[in-house]
Amino acid sequence: MTDSTGRRVSANISITLDGRYSGPGGRGDLGAIVPYAVTEVARDHLARIWEGATTAVLGRLNAEGFLGFWPSVAEDENADPRDRGYAKWLVDTEKVVLSTTLTEAPWERTRVVNAPAADVVTDLKATGEGGILVNSSAGVIKALLAADLLDRLYLMICPEIVGGGRRLFDDGLPASKWTLTHQETGELGEIAMVYDRAR
């Protein structure tokens, strides 16, 4: 749903066949996700997610993790151009980090907000222009799904079943319908999909 500012809210995340964004070893257990993050399909998907976006919304853990990785990619002339394009966008764009513990912003062009994700995104939609991208922050994505505030989902499906770990689509979410607007399958069986909310 876009309001008077026309700002679309998108989210990007990779999940396994059994719907998990991390494995049974905890938040850092990304063994079923990482091998598919550098494929041609994944890199094309990465180049797609930030098109038209002017604001990145991140949870604290992702913000801190991204800070340790993406700025160096933005500076690396030998990096894949798709990775570098995304990295430069992330460094240069407005970032909103949702956190109950941070007292100062970890990046330039970043503000820390201690408020529910749905409230923050509703406020962002009411001001400014350009798309709002929630980037791989599962807790934020879950809250926005629960509040029916997502307009687009960029999903990367990794062809592994991990059998445990954190699920993206928890029981109790409100029912919703989505339209598949893009699909691409990679050589390893990974699938990049773009779903738009059918309203």
Residues with Cβ within 8 Å of 176's Cβ and at least 6 positions away in sequence, in order, are: 145, 148, 197, 198
For residue 5, pLDDT beyond 80: no
User: What count of other Cβ atoms lies within 10 Å of the Cβ of residue 55?
Assistant: 20
Computed on alpha carbons and rounded to an integer, the radius of gyration of the chain in Å comes to 16
Query: CA angle, corner 179, sides to 173 and 183, nearest 5?
Result: 110
Burial, 159: exposed, middle or buried (Cβ in 10 Å; 0-12, 13-18, 19+)? middle
Q: Which CATH class is domain 9-198?
A: alpha beta
pLDDT tens digits along 39-51 = 999 999 999 999 9
Residue at 47: amino acid letter:
A
pLDDT tens digits along 91-108 = 999 999 999 999 888 888
- Contact between 168 and 20 (Cβ < 8 Å): yes
